[in-house]
Each structure stands twice: as C-alpha cells, then as structure tokens.
Amino acid sequence: MFGMVRRLRRDERGQALVLGAVCMLVVAVAVMSSVSIGQGVYEKIKLQDAADAQAYSLAVKEARAYNFLAYTNRAMIVHYNAMLTVMSYVSHAVYLDRTIGAAAKFLKVLPGIGPVFAAVSAMIKAWVKAVEEVAPALVKVLTELNIALWIAQEAMLSATLYDLYSDAARDKSIHVTDPRAEVEYSMDRDVGFRDVPLPALYSDLGTINHSNAKNLLHVLDDGPRSSSPTMGPDPTGMLKRGRLLDRNRNRLSDPDMAKYRLLMGSMANAVRREWTATGQGPVLIGRKWDLRLCLIVGELRIKKTADSQIKSFSERFEGNRNDQLFASDDIKMEVRPGCGLGFLDWSTVFELHFRVAADARNGFHQEYGNQKVSAHHEWKGITPFVTSDTSFVNPWRNHFGYPCNMVVLSKDMGAERGDGGPGRKKEVFQLDNLTRGSFLRTKGSGKYNTALAEQEGDTTNQEQGIQESLLDMTWRYVGGKTDPFAKDFRQYSGGMMAMSVGRAIYHRPGEWKEEPNFFNPVWTARLAPVQTHWDEKNLGWLVPSYRDAKLLFNGLTY
C-alpha cells in the first residue's frame, strides 16, 4: 500500500496534460486575439481605402472643373481672335475699294485693258459687300457662343460644388470600396441636405463639407476668402461677373469690371495672327508694305500700316462705347530731300485712314481723317468668364492656390452606437465575453479600481472583481473607458474612423515657372498629407495631438 503511494508520488506521467491545458488556453487566447486584431486591421484598411478613394475622386472633380474653365477660356480667346480677323477683312476691303477699286473705275475705260480693271472693280465691290454682311452675323454668333461658354462654366462650378458635399448615400466611391463606411458627423451635420435647394448647402457652417466647398471657390478671383467664415449669397461670383453684360454697370473705372475686360482683352490680343495684328502682304494689295521712290529732288515713301485689336474705353469716352473690336488700314505719304540721306527726317505730306469698329454704339466706319462717317454693327463687348486669383502670401500655408478637400469616414464597430448599427451584426470577432463570462468572474480585491472611475460611480471592477480591460477586445472602450474625448469619438464614429486629403494641383512636367491659372489645362489630382490650414478646428477635434503640435506643423514644409 505504502509502496503504491510512493510510486504515485514519484510518477511524473500526466504533467503534460496540465501544461497542455494551460498552453492551449494561451494559444486559444492568442488565436482569438490575432483573429480579432486581423479583422480590425482589415476593416480599417477598407475604411481608409474608401476615404482615399473619395478624397481622390473629389480632387479629380476639382481638377476637371478647373481644366474645363481653362478649355472654355481658351475657346473664348479663339472666338475673339476670329472676330478681330473678320473685322480686319472689313477694314482691308474698305481700303481696297477706296484705292485700287477707285482707280479701276477710271482705268476701265482704257481700250484693251479696260475689261480687266472693270473685273477688278466688280470683284472688290463683291468682296466688300460679302465681308460687310458676314462680319455682323459672325460677331453676333461668336459673342452669344462665348456667353453660352460662360454659363457652362458657372454650371460646372455649381455641379462640382454640390459634389463636394460628401454623403455616403450618393457617393458610390465610398460604398463600393467599403459598404459599411459612413460620412463622419463633422463632415455633414445636415442629413437632409440633398432635399433642399442648392443655396442651402452653403449655410451648414463649421462642417468639413462646407470647408471643402469654400476651399474650391477661394481660388476663384471672385470667390470667398479662405479666412472668411461664410461664402456669402454669391459664392461663385456669378452675379458680379454677370455685370459685364450690363452696359450701364460695365464701367472700366470699376476694378471688378476692369480686371476682366483688360485681362481677356490682353489675352486675345496676345494670340492674334500676324496678318490680323499688324498686317502683311505684297505692295498695294497687302495690309502692310513700304514703297520708296527716288526722285530728282528727293525721296518719296508710301507706308502702309495695319492694326487690329480689342480696345477698352472708360465710361467718359464718347458716351461709353465700352469695349471695341477695332481694325485699321492706314496710308501715309512722306518725303525728304535727297536720296538715301538717312540723317534727314521724313515730312508727312498726305495721310489716308480706313478704319472700322464694332462696339456698344453700333460701331463706325472712319475714312479721311477722324470723321466717323457711318455706323457699322454692335458688339456687346467682353463677356463674363471665370478666372483665378492665386495667393503667394505664405505659400506653404496657402498651398499656392491649390484647393484641398478633406474626407472623414467612420464605421460602426459596436461602440457607443450599438452592436454594429441598427439591424446589423458585429462582423469583427470580439472577446468581450471574457470580461463578462464566468471564466473571469472572481472575488477581486478592488486594487485595480481607479480613483477617476470611483468618482464617476463606475463600480464594475468592484462588482466583478476583475482588472479593467483584462482581455477585453471589444470596441465599446475604444480610446479609453473614462476619457471624455474617447467617449465623444465613439459616439460620433462608432469606433473606427479614417481621414484622407485630396488636392487639385497645377502641374506641368519639367522645369517651368507659371502661376496657377484658368488658361492652361494642366490641373491634376493627388492625395496629400492630412495637414491643412483651412480646417484646423475640425482637424484639431479629430486629432488632439494636432492642436498640441500646431506651432511645429506651421514651421514644416510639405
């Protein structure tokens, strides 16, 4: 009997069973923890992908809108150039009619060669009539087309502005990437914004959606300042630009009107063809030529010059002609004593002017001096268009005029909002049963109860006798159980959140120096660091450490 007891005491068989049970528990907890953490990481990656996709999608929309403005502005410039060209045809035709055509009337009576001059005279008359009829019609059509392009610009701005108000119910890029993603509360606090008129979108102040919209518009010349709290009743500046179509309000002395008239006029004049701008061609029938004859007593020079441009006048000039499509073909006859004596000055003995114009007062024909002898046709002037006002004040802070948009998405992981949201089951494996089940329910000493928890009346540890959060991998206490910020975070986000920033930038490969503008369509989209100046309030709430490092961030470049 005693021998059997001694053998049992020395027998080591069965120890592996005890060790195996303990190890299996550790392995089971490790496996469950790995599965839970892996699922959590997977869900976070999906949510971050959705935020990146939405931010990049919005940046692409912004870049496309800016490029559309550039394409339409360039189309307007082409139309202005075509108007100047057809006005040049009119001016040149009048010149041919009053010189060669007039001479042909007398020369057509000459025997033998008379029919040739008669044909020349008839051709010139037909050409004058053709251009005189085509010019008014073409200028009117191109002007109306430019107005249509401006309306298209405003429509593009309004549509892009609407798209910047992110909402998971209509933004496919969010739900396609992560079906459980939601637009975070700080982005959109007006859940019914889709059912209200467009102007109401601008009134939801303090949200990231509002900041995104304002950041798109502050690049516009007439857009809101990035520092202004609201966008005002005319956020895109459409009503201000529309004053260009009102003759009584379109005054060059008004800086808001002058900047548009002078900028577009200068751009259109800068791209004129040589024949349109200064003229060119053979002697007598060309727009620009120089003929010199050496006579016995001196030298004769007949100089033919041409000019076509868009001019702008103040409201005090001839009853406010405003803008003018102007073209001229002028002849000047000069003489000087001797031949080839370059040190002697020329003296003008005769001048002849052939000029035409279209403006707000029906234009004019001008011939022989300064007298305007007849009306031509009306032109409304420079039409509205959208231009930019890039800022180079503190460029790292103001992004060189590049608009940013921030996207903040959340996902209900069963935190304060409940177990995965209404009608949903938690899709992430949880270990919360370990803290509530009988496995860890023992009489505890209360040594792990914190003073803060006792002050708030939290007696969970006293009642269950467990260490707080021991093996507790639920989403109920994301960020800390008693932290007020964490409680707010769980309330708004549901336990998980992702942020991303997209940016529309003005970029051309290679070395080049050019301010961002709406005349070259080289805007493109990129994701940017989650670090912006325009939404520090929201970003500071979302990331408290950002507030603490504000001074440091302002000193960094990115």
Please give the structure tokens belonging to residue 352: 């002849």
Cα–Cα distance measured from residue 161 to residue 55, given in angstroms and rounded to the nearest whole number: 14
Query: Which pLDDT score is estimated for 424?
Result: 46
Query: Which pLDDT score is estimated for 469?
Result: 41
Cα–Cα distance measured from residue 115 to residue 166, given in angstroms and rounded to the nearest whole number: 77
Query: Which pLDDT score is estimated for 218?
Result: 84
Query: Which pLDDT score is estimated for 203?
Result: 52
Query: Which pLDDT score is estimated for 93?
Result: 93
Query: Which pLDDT score is estimated for 435?
Result: 46
The answer to whether residues 232 and 242 touch, using CB atoms and an 8 Å cutoff, is no
- H/E segment holding residue 523: strand 523-528
Query: Which pLDDT score is estimated for 204?
Result: 56
- 3-class DSSP assignment, residue 385: coil
Query: Which pLDDT score is estimated for 108?
Result: 78
Residues of the chain with pLDDT under 50: 190-202, 419-429, 435, 437-444, 448, 452, 464-471, 552-553, 555-558
Query: Which pLDDT score is estimated for 402?
Result: 80
HEC string for 290-344 = EEEEECCCEEEEEEEEEEEEEEECCCCCCCCCCEEEEEEEEEEEEEEECCCCCCC
